Amino acid sequence: MDFVGIAAMLGAIIFSLGVHEAAHGWAAERFGDPTARELGRITLNPIKHIDPVFTILVPIVLYMVVGFAFGGAKPVPFNPMRFRPGTNIKRAIMWIAAAGPISNFILAFVAMLISQLALAYTNPGVTGGFTFRFLSSMVTINILLGMFNLLPIPPLDGAKVLAGFLPNKMANMMYRLERYAILFFFIIVYSNVGRYIMKPMDWMETQYSIVVGAIVRLLT
């Protein structure tokens, strides 16, 4: 990739991870926990969410070496003890976890819609510019982030989503596995488990294209 492509991809990763983490904090606040708000983490300011290694260095190195961008941001903390009285803690944790991937799927759809409207109203040369390449990266990266984070492997969000449907004893076991996050990280990277989301990613992007194409035809 040239400089513009790398800059567009890196910008999309940083922005998308920031929205992802802010969504976790926003969801926690809906259940009464203001921890993320107090720490200034419910914000689109990427500086608040950046981890120098996992947000910047790891995605660039992986993409350049294996063509697969994988990274992370500083996790947004939440405190179940601060949930509103009567809250089903297991289900609340499930929705807080799901908020991140959901935000990524919404971002991907919006980015695709804007990029296709730009193509419809401008000349084809727009595809070489930073903005269009940023939007294109947003589509791919956000679908990837959403799908990947829904894998039911600690410490990914999918593990907490799965725990929300498990009996309490099994759910607590799933939560405790997060203490081995670094081990699971290396397993995820070196096992290439990400290959299992390629077909679902293609399917989702195709569905987005169908819906976005219909909307663009209505608006142009």
More confident residue, 129 or 145: 145
Q: pLDDT band at residue 80, thresholds of 50, 70 and 90?
A: very high
Q: pLDDT band at residue 127, thresholds of 50, 70 and 90?
A: low
CA dihedral 128, 132, 133, 139 (to 10 degrees): -150
| Residues noted as catalytic | 21
Q: Is the pLDDT of residue 13 over 90?
A: no
Check residue 32 and report its DSSP letter: T
d(CA 142, CA 128): 20
Q: What is the mean pLDDT of residues 22-40?
A: 96
Question: What was the pLDDT predicted at 157?
Answer: 94
Under 8 Å between Cβ of 8 and 133? yes
More confident residue, 139 or 10: 139
Q: What is the mean pLDDT of residues 7-35?
A: 92
The per-residue pLDDT of the chain, averaged, comes to: 87
Q: In angstroms, what CA-CA distances link 31 with 56, 87, 91, 104, 187?
A: 31, 7, 10, 21, 33
Overall size of the chain counted in residues: 220
Question: What was the pLDDT predicted at 124?
Answer: 64
Under 8 Å between Cβ of 148 and 194? yes
Cis peptide preceding 152, ω within 30 of 0: no
Note the pTM of the prediction, 2 decimals.
0.86
User: pLDDT (tens digit, 9 = 90+) per residue, 146-202?
Assistant: 998 998 988 889 999 999 999 999 999 999 988 887 677 777 767 766 677 788 889
Q: What is the mean pLDDT of residues 12-32?
A: 93
More confident residue, 69 or 117: 117
CA gyration radius for the chain?
18
CB-based contacts of 129, cutoff 8 Å, min separation 6: 4
Q: Containing H/E element for 161?
A: helix 157-163
Percent of the chain with pLDDT strictly greater than 70? 88
User: pLDDT (tens digit, 9 = 90+) per residue, 37-76?
Assistant: 999 999 988 888 887 777 777 767 766 766 665 667 788 9
Both tokens of 16, joined, read 């998308």
**Own/partner pairs, 112-118, CB within 8 angstroms, 24+ separation:** 112/139, 112/208, 112/209, 112/212, 113/212, 113/215, 113/216, 115/139, 116/212, 116/213, 116/216, 117/216, 117/219, 117/220
For 125-160, give one letter per residue: b (16+ CB within 10 A) or e: eeeeeeebbbbbbbbbbbbbbbbbbbbebbbbbbbb
Q: Containing H/E element for 12?
A: helix 3-30
Q: Is the pLDDT of residue 34 over 90?
A: yes
